[in-house]
A and B are shown apart, each in its own frame.
Chain A
Amino acid sequence: MSELLQFLLSGVTVGAVYALVALGFTIIYNASDVVNFAQGEFVMLGGMITVMAYTAGAPLPLAALAAVVATAAIGVAMNKLAIEPARGAPVVSLVIITIGASIFIRGAAQLVFGKQIHTFPAFSGDDPIRILGATILPQSLWVIAGSVAVFIGLWLFFTRTLLGRAVLATSNNRLAAQLVGINTPFVMTLSFAMSAGIGALSGVLVTPITMTSYDVGLAFALKGFAAAMLGGMGNPKGALVGGFTLGVLEGLTAGYISSQYKDAAAFIVILAVLFFMPQGLFGRKSTDRV
């Protein structure tokens, strides 16, 4: 019993990270219909920049803040330099651009940070907390709390603020949004900044547990995408539920089947979703205007 609980707890921890990555996907997807394959690189950058600032002597909270802000700036730059110039390009081109951007960021990170594995200390120590015979690290609580806080924050932003509604309007119909005076280029900038910032935050939160290196982004992107699809592409609630579900599945796979193949869980989830419920748990069937 305590064994099962242990697997569930570690699953929920990584699930919280996947939920954050999936939320990042969702924001950009909603604003622009672009599936951003560089989302995982934002997670890597969050962890890596924190490591760099921390080893340079900055206090940890300041280093983390710098990482989130810097990554958000990189996200905005990516939109300005790579996505916006290709506006109106076919979907295939946009996908190739985000893949290219993601490989580019990886390559740059390898040059700047090197190939070593990095980490920094956990926020509130490393003494595990015991729950019913299972243990959980204080850092795991930070991760879970972080993802729930981001979700609530986003929910308030999208439902309670004018700016949030402007983003929603743009995602529903870009042209109509422009016609009623919404500054859609700004909405795009904002979406990339938020998405990159959220990705970086998840990187900051999870690095003390999983450590980080220049090439961790890809796995996060794949799993975040799997989570977003499981929940229903474009649905923030789906991203949250999908993330935690995928994390728990992965935790159980690692515990009961094989830790070497825990990464296969994400792929199986993708295939199963596509086979049985292409709209995901909370998605709506989409139709195309011709």
Chain B
Amino acid sequence: MRLTPKSATLLALVVLIALAPVFFPSGFYYRVGALIFVNALAVTGIVILTGWAGQISLGHAGFAGIGAYACALAPVHWGIHPALAILLGAAISAVLAWLVGRPILRLKGYYLAVASLGMGILISMVLNNERWLTRGPDGIDVPELGLRDVLKDAGLSLTNGQFWYFLCGIVLVIGAWLALNLHDSATGRALRALHGSEVAARTVGMDVARLKLQAFVISAVYASVSGSLLALQNKFITPDVAGFMHSVEMVTMAVLGGVGSVAGAIFGAAVLTLLPQVLTVFAEYEQLVLGLVMVLVMIFLREGVVPSILRKIRGSGE
């Protein structure tokens, strides 16, 4: 039997998530795993936007910030259940992405990068300055999701680390599955066509602006859900989640793994999430390393690590 690349990616992902805990030396690694999944989810959104639609966002952390603070604020102020707050955050992010993207994506060129950069800075400015609502730079507590207790009552008892590991893992698999479906759909093909040549795509009658807008909105939802999951599992969030460096991390993870590939996104997220955990000195050099990775990958491995390796393997097999 021959697997399509889509089912191969999903199968590998499920097996990896299910089997990895066997090798965990301590409970701490469940937390690292959950962080990897949260980042990989956001980076999957970047793959849709940058890898397929050919647009760059430097403000995606802003959407993560919206998702995170929706979970922190909505349950306390409006009595909304944290699980619904995830959806609320995603809806707000989608509307904002639509409003910002609509005028910009009609135009060709770098404008989304700049406008999203400005938007991200504005969101993090609001989160830092509106202390009456967000408590400012010191951060704010996030309510308990409550799902773990429900599972406990149903007879499935998990530690906090295990619970978040598997929940984030499941969300990532769903996110990857949706993204891969999109990739193979008419919209996905159209997106990749317009990345190849916008003029050609326009000539064959594609609504280029609408396609790019769709990609931007979808990727904003991914980032927002990722921010929500991060806030809920930490039970605490600071405006750093919406900061510029977080946006850069997302782009770098996508670029490193392979900006056109979902498997690459997950690989890139895993490497750059593990690095600071393994190397404590990394914090000092984080910007240096991220910048260098972006430049070097773009010059020497333009497709990213995972697609380049896959090509090597296939090439030698034939």
Contact = CB atoms under 8 A, between A and B. Distances in A.
Chain B interface category by residue count: 35 or more
A105 to B, nearest CB: 7
Nearest to B244: A218
Interface stretch (A128-136, A221-229, A238-246): A221-229
A66 interface: no
Contacts of B111: 229, 274
B145 interface: no
A111 interface: yes
Interface in B287-308: 287-295, 298-299, 302
Contact of A108 (B50, B129, B288): B288
B125 interface: yes
A82 B125 contact: no
Given A99-B248, A111-B284, A270 B118 contact: yes
Contacts, number: 126
B115 A271 contact: yes
Given A263-B121, A290-B199, A90 B285 contact: no
A229 B111 CA distance: 9
B291 A107 contact: yes
Given A222-B117, A226-B118, A261-B129, A107 B298 contact: no
B199 A93 contact: no
A60 interface: no
Please report whether the interface of chain B is mostly helix, strand, loop or mixed according to DSSP.
Answer: helix
A157 B251 CA distance: 38
B24 interface: no
Please report whether the interface of chain A is mostly helix, strand, loop or mixed according to DSSP.
Answer: helix
Contact of A85 (B108, B122, B293, B299): B299
A138 to B, nearest CB: 31
Interface string A89-130: 111110111011111111110110000000000000000000
Contact of A105 (B118, B129, B291): B291
A186 interface: no
B95 interface: no
A16 B56 CA distance: 29
Contact of A102 (B125, B129, B285, B291): B291
Listed from nearest, the 3 A-B pairs whose CB atoms lie closest are A100-B294, A104-B291, A107-B287
Interface of A: 35, 37, 82, 85-86, 89-93, 95-97, 99-108, 110-111, 218-219, 222, 225-226, 229, 260-261, 263-264, 266-267, 270-271, 274-275, 278, 288, 290
